[in-house]
């Protein structure tokens, strides 16, 4: 059983509230990877520059960078 304080009175937390809290936590976790990916991706300007130089030099720096971000921040 879990308890919460309402107006200074300790009371048992309703099962529906416990269930909703778990649903909320799961939903947050399901999209948390997106926030981490956004922070880890290079800017659009940097990505375009990588793509240009990959085409000129025959390299795969852009693809490798994006794959690295995705593997470090996988979908749940």
Q: Please give the pLDDT value at position 40.
A: 97
Q: Please give the pLDDT value at position 59.
A: 98
How far apart are the C-alpha atoms of 37 and 71, rounded to whole Å? Answer: 10
Q: Please give the pLDDT value at position 43.
A: 98
Q: Please give the pLDDT value at position 46.
A: 98
Q: How confident is the model at residue 5 (pLDDT cuts 50, 70, 90)?
A: confident
Return the structure tokens found at 34.
């997106």
Query: In DSSP terms, which residues pair with 46 in a beta bridge?
Result: none
Q: Please give the pLDDT value at position 53.
A: 98
């Amino acid at each position: 059983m879990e308890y919460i304080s309402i107006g200074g009175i300790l009371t048992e937390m309703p099962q529906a509230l416990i269930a909703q809290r778990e649903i909320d936590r799961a939903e947050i976790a399901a999209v948390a990877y997106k926030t981490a990916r956004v922070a880890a991706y290079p800017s659009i300007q940097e990505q375009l520059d990588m793509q240009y130089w990959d085409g000129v030099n025959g390299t795969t720096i852009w693809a490798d960078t994006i794959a690295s971000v995705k593997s470090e921040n996988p979908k749940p």
